[in-house]
Amino acid sequence: MLISPSVLNSNLGRLSEEISKVEGVADLIHLDVMDNHFVPNLSFGLPVVAGVLAHTSLPVDVHLMIDDPDRWAPAYGEAGAYSVTFHIEAAKDPVTLSKNISATGARVAAALKPGTDLDSLDGLLEHLDMILIMTVEPGFGGQAFMYDMMPKIARARELSGAHMWIEVDGGVSQNTIKDCKEAGANVFVAGSCVYSNPDPAQVVRDLKALVE
């Protein structure tokens, strides 16, 4: 069971300070790359991710909400990301893309928007280390958790077997994390519930305690 705080709703003007607040307690740090094309929001790209990689001891969990990941995603692995997630809806040749990411040494994951069926991963599962099930529409932190995604989490676990990591992202909090675990998830992204609290490390500890 791994907790991956998302910095999207943290104070991005003090990014390394915000990340250091969860170092030593979090398992990963989740960075949301958005290009204002795949999603209607713009965050940051490779230069900022590379800057974070140089300053944190946490493994970096990159979530690419961008068009044309076939072209852009492997560079995040080359830069040293621990895990690189692309959206299946945006990938042109997901098998080749997954191989290209794996070749950098990074773990590779495919993300599914709430409306995207698990069938879209047909023929790809053997090339993946993780499936990311979005439990909100991607683009913004602080949205309400979509409980209707629970069967999809369970089905992803069923289809992929015990070794696959299943990550949930969107609206994960003290109220929803246990249900995600029970459905079969083992990697939990939590953004606003961690960084809206004056003690982010304590929230991460609380989340861990709920799933362990």
Q: Site residues (CB under 5 A) for Zn ion?
A: 32, 63, 169
Residues 98-137 close enough to bind ligand DX5 by CB under 6 A: 136
Determine whether 122 is an active site residue. no
Closest CA to 153 of 120, 183, 187: 183
Stretch of 47-55, 84-92, 115-123, 141-149 contacting ligand DX5, by CB under 6 A: 141-149
Residue in 35, 67, 129, 169 annotated catalytic: 169
Based on CB atoms, which residue is closest to ligand DX5, 59 or 171?
Answer: 171
SS3 state of residue 62: strand
Based on CB atoms, which residue is closest to Zn ion, 79 or 189?
Answer: 189
What is d(CA 60, CA 84) in angstroms, rounded to the nearest whole number? 9
Q: Name which of Zn ion, ligand DX5, none residue 114 binds, using a CB cut-off of 5 to 8 Å depending on partner kind.
A: none
Based on CB atoms, which residue is closest to ligand DX5, 79 or 172?
Answer: 172
Shortest Cβ contact with ligand DX5: which residue? 191
Closest CA to 150 of 111, 115, 196, 181: 181
Determine whether 32 is an active site residue. yes
201-210 long-range Cβ contacts below 8 angstroms, 24+ apart: 201/21, 201/22, 201/24, 201/25, 203/174, 204/3, 204/5, 204/22, 204/25, 204/26, 205/25, 206/174, 207/3, 207/172, 207/173, 207/174, 207/177, 208/1, 208/3, 208/25, 210/174, 210/177, 210/178, 210/181
Contact flag: residue 152 with ligand DX5 (CB under 6 A): no
Contact flag: residue 28 with ligand DX5 (CB under 6 A): no
Residue whose pair of structure tokens reads 């083992």 in the numeric block: 186
Q: Which two tokens stand for residue 77?
A: 């692995």
What is the smallest separation between the CB atom of 126 and ligand DX5, expressed in angstroms?
25
Shortest Cβ contact with Zn ion: which residue? 63
Active site residues: 32, 169
Binding region for ligand DX5 (CB under 6 A): 6, 8-9, 30, 32, 63, 136, 138-143, 169-172, 189-192
